[in-house]
């Protein structure tokens, strides 16, 4: 399924390498040389200014490792306040190469940050890490398996499988896994193309193929683990993948839990206000939206990683997220979120093929009605302003209720990430769902048990 698309991936890699080569050559031979002449003119004034101002500008211009090679003391000559452009060019060129050669993705840092996050599961839960080949060993899925060590744990209970949202990984469930695994087998996956799952350089040819990659990789992982039935829980993008999987493989899903699922709302019109704005633009500027659409969702984070400020960018954008994921070590959470997205963006490329301006090209609202009526469904929604999603979920629940299909809607106070914004309530609600499964009372005869 991936083989015929690998040529496009190779071509894109060659194009990226060519642009990188041109950029480095332009910087070395043109921009840095002219910059060196300009800096040489103001350098003496920096040297005779106040010490704090001089150190600040020198750090900005030459990096923190800048070494002052000029003689010190009272008897200084004008030469001590001057640097030739060639000297400045050498220093600028050294720091430039230190930046472009910086590798933003570091697997050892990712593993270390993930281990710190997973320490929150507690001592009563043990975690195993697995790498499962998929697509005829062309890729692999990284997952963790958690099980309790107390008498409350029952290995015969239906296992719980967790699918994360866009830009996350198994560490995203650090404050939830301990509670779930204390009672039943619990799995968390780095979905295809994300986290520590192997990245491939193929490009899906259409939204249906992109969706198939996610679903097929999940099914091959399930087969390898020997799981007959599971409670499948997906958050946002993970919810979309879980819903698609349940439609194709209903016999493997004991209960479907969709938390703030992405892709259920259909774009109202093909032309919205933004489209009219683009049409009113001059012809030269119309290429800008097209060019921006070619970037992946987290490219800005990936670029900032080349400058070593990836975690800082995330912390500035979401200042409370680190403490929500790991209250004792927010820095580890930001490092994890950076490293989990710093590698080649396979998952984002697949997501980009499935979406347009974050709207699903193949929305799930009508397709979800084809779900096997014997699959129980629970929607978990939080307090937010996306009333379109609430409307679609309520309409879907009513449609299923009228046909005696078990559907439950649970509201949680918090943001769009209830598993980290309000983990206590989220964990409790999921445990209630699991208890319904254990007691076998989430069947069609109880379909009218719905909360709005």
HEC secondary structure over the chain? CCHHHHHHHHHHHHHHHHHHHHHHHHHHHHHHHHHHHHHHHHHHHHHHCCHHHHHHHHHHHHCCCCCCCCCCCCCCCHHHHCCCHHHHHHHHHHHHHHHHCCCCCCHHHHHHHHHHHHHHHCCCEEEEEEEEEECCCCEEEEEEEEEECCCCCCCCCCCEEEECCCCCCHHHHHHHHHHHHCCCCEEEEECCCCCCCCCCCCCCCCHHHHHHHHHHHHHHHHHHHCCCCEEEEEECHHHHHHHHHHHHCHHHEEEEEEECCCCCCCCCCCCCHHHHHHHHCCCCCCHHHHHHHCCCCCHHHHHHHCCCCHHHHHHHHCCCHHHHHCCCCHHHHHHHHHHCCCCCCHHHHHHHHHEECCEECCCHHHHHHHCCCCCCEEEEEECCCCHHHHHHHHHHHHHHHHCCCCEEEEEECCCCCHHHHCHHHHHHHHHHHHHHHHCCCCCHHHCCCCCC
Output the pLDDT for position 316.
86
Token representation of residue 178: 């301990």
- Cα–Cα distance between 215 and 141 in angstroms, integer? 12
By DSSP bridging, strand 139-148 and strand 125-134 are antiparallel
Q: How many CB atoms lie within 10 A of CB 433?
A: 21
Token representation of residue 244:
């698609």
How far apart (Å, rounded) are the C-alpha atoms in residues 158 and 253? Answer: 10
Instruction: Region of 260 please: left (phi>0), alpha (psi -120 to 50) or beta.
Output: left
Residue 187: closest CA among 197, 172, 177? 177
**pTM for the whole thing?**
0.77
The dihedral of CA 436, 214, 165, 288: what is its sign? negative
Q: Spell out the per-residue pLDDT of the chain, length 452, in tens.
A: 554 444 555 565 566 556 666 766 777 677 766 776 666 666 555 554 445 555 545 554 555 444 444 444 444 444 444 565 666 667 666 666 555 555 668 899 999 999 999 999 999 999 999 999 999 999 999 999 999 999 999 999 999 999 999 999 999 999 999 999 999 999 999 999 999 999 988 788 899 999 999 999 999 999 999 999 999 999 999 999 999 999 999 999 999 999 999 999 988 765 444 454 445 556 555 555 555 555 555 667 766 665 667 788 888 888 899 999 999 999 999 999 999 998 888 999 899 899 988 899 999 999 999 999 999 999 999 876 688 999 999 999 999 989 889 999 999 887 778 999 999 999 999 999 999 999 999 876 554 444 43
pLDDT value at residue 43? 56
Which residue do the tokens 């697995």 mark?
130
Q: What is the pLDDT of residue 65?
A: 42
> Tokens 């030269």 sit at which residue?
284
Closest CA to 160 of 420, 397, 430: 430
pLDDT tens per residue across span 206-255: 999 999 999 999 999 999 999 999 999 999 999 999 999 999 999 999 99
Q: What is the pLDDT of residue 64?
A: 46
């Amino acid at each position: 399924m991936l083989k015929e698309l690998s040529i496009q991936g190779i071509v894109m890699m060659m194009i990226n390498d060519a642009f990188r080569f041109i950029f480095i050559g332009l910087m070395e031979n043109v921009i840095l040389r002219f910059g060196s002449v300009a800096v040489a003119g103001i350098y003496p004034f920096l040297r005779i200014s106040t010490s704090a101002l001089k150190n600040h500008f020198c750090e900005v211009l030459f990096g923190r490792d800048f070494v002052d090679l000029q003689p010190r003391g009272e008897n200084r000559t004008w030469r001590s306040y001057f640097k030739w452009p060639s000297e400045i060019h050498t220093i600028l060129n050294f720091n430039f190469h230190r930046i472009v050669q910086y590798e933003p993705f570091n697997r050892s840092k990712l593993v270390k940050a993930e281990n710190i996050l997973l320490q929150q599961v507690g001592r009563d839960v043990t975690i195993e890490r697995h790498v499962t080949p998929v697509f005829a060993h062309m890729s692999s899925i990284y997952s963790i398996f958690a099980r309790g060590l107390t008498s409350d744990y029952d290995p015969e209970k239906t296992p719980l499988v967790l699918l994360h949202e866009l830009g996350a990984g198994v560490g995203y469930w650090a404050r939830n896994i301990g509670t779930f695994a204390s009672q039943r087998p619990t799995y968390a996956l780095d979905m295809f193309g994300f986290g520590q799952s192997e990245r491939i350089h193929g490009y899906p040819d259409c939204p249906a193929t992109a969706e198939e990659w996610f679903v097929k990789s999940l099914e091959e992982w399930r087969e390898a683990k020997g799981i007959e039935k599971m409670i499948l829980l997906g958050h946002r993008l993970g919810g979309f993948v879980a819903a698609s999987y349940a439609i194709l493989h209903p016999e493997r899903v004991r209960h479907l839990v969709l938390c703030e699922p992405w892709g259920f709302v259909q774009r109202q019109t093909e032309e919205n206000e933004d489209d009219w704005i683009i049409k009113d633009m001059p012809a030269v500027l119309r290429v800008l939206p097209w060019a921006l659409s070619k970037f992946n969702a987290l490219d800005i984070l990936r670029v900032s990683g080349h400058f070593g400020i990836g975690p800082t960018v995330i912390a500035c954008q979401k200042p409370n997220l680190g403490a929500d994921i790991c209250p004792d070590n927010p820095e580890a959470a930001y490092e994890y979120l950076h490293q989990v997205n710093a590698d080649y963006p396979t998952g984002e490329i697949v997501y980009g093929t499935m979406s347009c301006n974050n709207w699903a090209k193949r929305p799930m609202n009508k397709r979800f009605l084809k779900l096997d009526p014997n699959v129980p469904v629970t929607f978990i929604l939080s307090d937010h302003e996306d009333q379109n999603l609430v409307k679609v979920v309520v309409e879907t629940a009513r449609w299923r209720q009228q046909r005696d299909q078990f559907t439950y809607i649970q509201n949680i106070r918090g943001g769009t990430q209830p598993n980290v914004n309000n983990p206590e309530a989220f964990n409790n609600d999921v445990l209630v769902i699991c208890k319904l499964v254990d007691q076998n009372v989430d069947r069609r005869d109880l379909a009218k048990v719905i909360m709005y």
